[in-house]
Amino acid sequence: MYASRLIVDFCNARAPVCGADAILDQFGLPSFCVTIFRLPATRQLSVLSMLGLWAVLTLIGAFYAMWSGYSGRAFAATLTAFAFLFLIMLLFAARGAESILATRLGSAGGHLLGVAVFLLYLIYALGTNTFAILRVATAAGLIFLPLALAASLERRPPGAWQDFAIIAGIWLAVKPFPNPWGFSMAYWLWPFPGGRLAYVMTVLLCVNVALAAFVMLRRLNGIGYSIGWGARWGFFILASFLVFACIAIPLGTGMHFVQFEPQVSQLTSLPLTALGILCFTAWPEEFLFRGLLQNLLSRASGSEVIGWMGASILFGFSHITNLGFPNWRYVALATIAGVFYGWTWRKTGSIFASALVHAAVDTTWHFLFRTV
């Protein structure tokens, strides 16, 4: 079974797909040729395998939380919201799940998913006794405004300004700009338990919203939202990681941004830390910046290279608030990292592959280097 990706190219590149120019002309777009090339065959996890993976990971998280002393109604409500948001995030990556849901539910599935996510937030708010009208209204806006924008596009081709507005809004919800009041919407929306899960829960909610908007409503192709393995993926992932390391380590130390300082005492936490980075940092960011942003920029510009470089630069600038604003050293290194993540996504057609590189970089940084 092959994964197909549409590449918009100039007309003199290859023979167009039958009728493609006529379709594009109906939308008033420039006369580009749409060509299809096939990526290597991939083995993707089935729905049952994904359910098993979800059950194992959720139980690990639940047992760790109970071992840490959490229990009671508030814990149960938080675990329920987390488990189902996490389930949706993983289930869409299962083999055939996206097409089955899209075929059976159509665009209504996007709105149903939005309602389900909102109900899960209500379960959390009521169960943790943190319910407040303003909080609930903010959560509703965060969920339903992007869906309304996506629904307003109807059959318009990918790359409209609304698409980019949705992506920008989702990113700002996760990583807002610094402000003099030190306000964080994530910590305000998810105050229990002490804001410790604020980032994770916001990420899960935003991933679910993005799935509803772009997969169910916009029916965007070529995202690569799957968990599996393909031919030569090991080479692409390892090559991307090693070449980036050869650039980033001397550059980062030369800029006095990082310093080699292995955290040997923390190595016992390596498996759980690496898994957390993969699930809640690397996967969501690769979905947003490669599967959506690079994908849409490539389509809007008619060039994969422009989409690749544009998404890499924006990925770099999205880190400008990390560890103090403005952090230009972080921007530079994140931009270079984005180039390699984007290359891996282009070569494999999967955000899972680029997320593995991303997670390997972040995990290596966490355990072997100290930020100066």
Encoded amino acid at 274, one letter: A
Beta strands in 210-297 (DSSP E): 228-230, 258-260
pLDDT of residue 10: 32
pLDDT of residue 43: 87
Strands 258-260 and 369-371: antiparallel
Q: Three-state DSSP class for 126?
A: helix
CA 151 to CA 155: how far, in whole Å? 9
Query: Which own/partner pairs from 262-271 qualify as long-range (CB within 8 Å, at least 24 positions apart)?
Result: 262/367, 262/368, 263/366, 263/367, 263/368, 266/367, 267/367, 270/363, 270/367
Q: 178-234, pLDDT tens digit by residue?
A: 777 778 899 999 999 999 999 999 999 999 999 999 999 999 999 999 999 999 999
CA-nearest of 354, 352, 351, 313 to 334 is: 313
CA 108 to CA 148: how far, in whole Å? 12
Distances (CA, A) of 372 to 176, 267, 337: 23, 21, 19
What DSSP string describes 131-197? --HHHHHHHHHHHHHHHHHHHHTTTPPS--HHHHHHHHHHHHHHSPPP-TT---HHHHH--TTTTTT
Other beta carbons within 10 angstroms of residue 100's beta carbon come to: 12
Q: Three-state DSSP class for 261?
A: coil
pLDDT of residue 33: 37
CA 160 to CA 156: how far, in whole Å? 8
- CB–CB of 128/78 below 8 Å? yes
Q: Three-state DSSP class for 35?
A: strand
DSSP state of 130: -
Strands 4-9 and 33-38: antiparallel
CA 165 to CA 21: how far, in whole Å? 27
> By percentage, how much of the chain surpasses pLDDT 90?
79
DSSP state of 250: H
CA-nearest of 186, 167, 163 to 176 is: 186
- CB–CB of 202/186 below 8 Å? yes
- Supply 258's token pair: 């990082």
H or E segment and range at residue 143: helix 133-152
H or E segment and range at residue 88: helix 72-91
Q: 8-56, pLDDT tens digit by residue?
A: 333 333 333 333 334 333 333 443 333 333 444 578 999 999 999 999 9
- CB–CB of 288/365 below 8 Å? no
| N-term to C-term CA, the chain | 47
| Packed helices 328-348 and 304-317: angle between N→C axes, nearest 10 degrees | 140
Q: 304-362, pLDDT tens digit by residue?
A: 999 999 999 999 999 999 988 899 999 999 999 999 999 999 999 999 999 999 999 99
Q: Three-state DSSP class for 256?
A: coil
Q: Report domain extents, the chain.
A: 4-38, 44-220, 231-372
pTM above 0.75, yes or no: yes
pLDDT of residue 179: 73
Other beta carbons within 10 angstroms of residue 287's beta carbon come to: 26
Encoded amino acid at 153, one letter: L
Q: Three-state DSSP class for 125?
A: helix
Q: 273-300, pLDDT tens digit by residue?
A: 999 999 999 999 999 999 999 999 999 9
CA 93 to chain centre: 12
